[in-house]
């Protein structure tokens, strides 16, 4: 799996930062291939695709409101609040010397209904997309019907002829398992053996089947893909190469634009927007960055964050090899407590887009995740899962880098959004353990 020494030496010579990455040091990488929006000739998805995805969400809103009562108050729209975190900003400025002078917000996807994580965007979307496709082909609905019919026994019986497979470290499996089983599909979730027991238990309780694999997430995906495709009525949600997951995530940008307007936040040349996104295969941060770029153009600056032990998208973009390399090729072990970020190989689909749109990527150590978790809980009373805290040091990291100078940005009027990607479904005892660990490290 690991490259020959001579090959490693060649890569390091070409990209010296790779040496630090291999040594597992936290790094900040600024993307030399970032393009201005008017320089990009074409991408595999368009703004129209994103708008179509938003319409699909709208068509399913009556169904979601009916079967997931927690979405009733938003009329079946799965969305999370945008909260100003002034107290945490002060903590970051004092404890981390972050020097944040603009506004700091937390995008609370940890509160997303159904899956309690950002996967409620991509995962739920792809299953709805597939369900609609089957129902349209069977002549069971028209796009202007009331989709609450999807909750009927007739539809459930129809979908029970089909199966959906997904490989997952946890959260994606939860979102696909919950929505898939609700619609009536047979759902098989292929998990790496290090996936948390409570996630497996919850999936079983929702009616999904769990298959465990030794080895890592990449192997679980590989096996899941094979076994699902052996079944003629099987559909595989492929985290390593999915356009639909990507589009499901992208719709967050349309919603965020509205939330920023509601909070009277201006985004233009003199008021830049910085967004910090935890990154696993790169689908969720890539989809959201794509959407934000469609709306705010060059005035939004998107940064991804990965654990020092799982810098999959970083090595993919830095070398330009994208999904053709994995962290293990460079002798990096892909062991991290950041669930959802423990990914060795980047998404093929998302990387081809992110390589032009992401401003940079930074990495961080696991211990920092727990410290930030405890700091946020104490200062704001918000409880995230460890991986979801990783964006919090983003403003400090980027403000201290060359980026702001290179781009000649006025950061005194900047807005920083840290994307909190998960946490709501974490059992209380686990959350307590995370918090105590963070406390002990502070």
Classify residue 296 by burial, with Cβ atoms within 10 Å: 0-12, 13-18, 19+: buried
**Tokens 């009562």 correspond to what residue?**
69
Q: Judged by CB under 6 A, does residue 242 bind ligand PLP?
A: no
Nearer Cβ to ligand PLP (155/236): 236
Q: Judged by CB under 6 A, does residue 177 bind ligand PLP?
A: no
Q: Least CB distance from residue 118 to ligand PLP, whole Å?
A: 5
Closest CA to 281 of 367, 329, 221: 221
Asked if residue 43 lies in contact with residue 287, where contact means CB atoms within 8 angstroms, the answer is: no
Q: Judged by CB under 6 A, does residue 118 bind ligand PLP?
A: yes
Nearer Cβ to ligand PLP (102/340): 340
Classify residue 113 by burial, with Cβ atoms within 10 Å: 0-12, 13-18, 19+: buried
Sign of CA dihedral 115, 188, 194, 288: negative
Distance separating alpha carbons of residues 432 and 436, to the nearest angstrom = 6
Count Cβ atoms below 10 Å from residue 259 Cβ, excluding itself.
17
Nearer Cβ to ligand PLP (260/369): 369
Distance of CA 40 to the CA centre of its chain: 24
Choose which of 85, 124, 237, 281 interacts with ligand PLP (CB under 6 A): 281
Asked if residue 175 lies in contact with residue 114, where contact means CB atoms within 8 angstroms, the answer is: yes
Binding mask 370-409 for ligand PLP (x = CB under 6 A): ---------------x-xx---------------------
Nearer Cβ to ligand PLP (415/421): 421
Q: Judged by CB under 6 A, does residue 422 bind ligand PLP?
A: yes
Stretch of 56-64, 68-76, 89-97, 339-347 lying at the interface with ligand PLP (CB under 6 A): 339-347
Choose which of 21, 279, 289, 332 interacts with ligand PLP (CB under 6 A): 279
Asked if residue 260 lies in contact with residue 129, where contact means CB atoms within 8 angstroms, the answer is: no
Choose which of 173, 184, 283, 311 interacts with ligand PLP (CB under 6 A): 283
Where do the H-state alpha helices sit in 169-282?
171-183, 197-206, 217-229, 243-262
Nearer Cβ to ligand PLP (177/280): 280
Nearer Cβ to ligand PLP (62/285): 285
Q: Which residues bind ligand PLP (CB under 6 A)?
A: 117-119, 171, 278-285, 340-341, 343, 385, 387-388, 421-422
């Amino acid at each position: 799996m690991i490259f020959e020494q001579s090959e490693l030496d060649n890569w390091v010579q070409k990209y010296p930062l790779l040496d630090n990455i291999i040594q597992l040091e936290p790094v900040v990488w600024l993307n030399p291939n970032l393009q201005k929006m008017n320089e990009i000739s074409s991408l595999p998805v368009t703004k129209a695709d994103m708008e179509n995805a938003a319409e699909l969400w709208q068509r399913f809103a009556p169904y979601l409101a009916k079967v997931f009562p927690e979405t009733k108050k938003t009329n079946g729209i799965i969305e999370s609040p945008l909260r100003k975190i002034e107290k945490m900003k002060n903590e970051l400025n004092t404890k981390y010397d972050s020097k944040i002078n603009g506004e700091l917000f937390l995008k609370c996807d940890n509160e997303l209904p159904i899956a309690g994580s950002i996967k409620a965007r991509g995962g739920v979307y792809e299953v709805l997309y597939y369900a609609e496709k089957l129902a349209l082909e069977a002549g069971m609905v028209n796009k202007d019907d009331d989709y609450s019919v999807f909750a009927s026994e007739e539809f459930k019986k129809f979908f029970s002829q089909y199966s959906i497979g997904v490989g997952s470290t946890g959260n994606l499996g939860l979102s696909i398992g919950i929505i898939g089983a609700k619609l009536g599909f047979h759902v098989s979730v292929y998990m790496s053996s290090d996936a948390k027991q409570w996630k497996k238990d919850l999936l079983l309780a929702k009616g999904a089947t769990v298959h465990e694999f030794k080895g890592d997430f990449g192997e679980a995906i590989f096996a899941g893909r094979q076994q699902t495709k052996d079944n003629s009525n099987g559909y595989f949600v492929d985290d390593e190469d999915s356009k639909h997951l990507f589009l499901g995530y992208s719709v967050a940008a349309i919603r965020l634009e509205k939330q920023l307007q509601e909070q009277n936040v201006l985004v233009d040349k003199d008021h830049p927007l910085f967004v910090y996104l935890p990154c696993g295969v790169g689908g969720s941060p890539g989809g959201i960055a794509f959407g934000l770029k469609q709306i705010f153009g060059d005035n939004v600056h998107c940064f991804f964050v990965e654990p020092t032990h799982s810098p999959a998208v970083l090595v993919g973009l830095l070398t330009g090899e994208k999904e053709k390399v994995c962290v293990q090729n460079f002798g990096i072990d892909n062991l991290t407590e950041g669930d959802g970020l423990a990914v060795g190989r980047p998404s093929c689909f998302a990387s081809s887009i992110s390589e032009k749109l992401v401003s940079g990527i930074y990495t961080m150590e696991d211990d920092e995740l727990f410290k930030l978790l405890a700091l946020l809980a104490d200062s704001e009373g918000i409880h995230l899962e460890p991986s979801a805290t990783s964006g919090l040091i983003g403003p400090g990291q980027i403000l201290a880098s060359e980026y702001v100078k290179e781009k000649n940005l006025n950061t005194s009027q900047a807005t920083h959004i840290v994307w909190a990607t998960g946490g709501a479904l974490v059992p209380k005892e686990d959350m307590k353990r995370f918090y105590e660990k963070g406390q002990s490290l502070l």
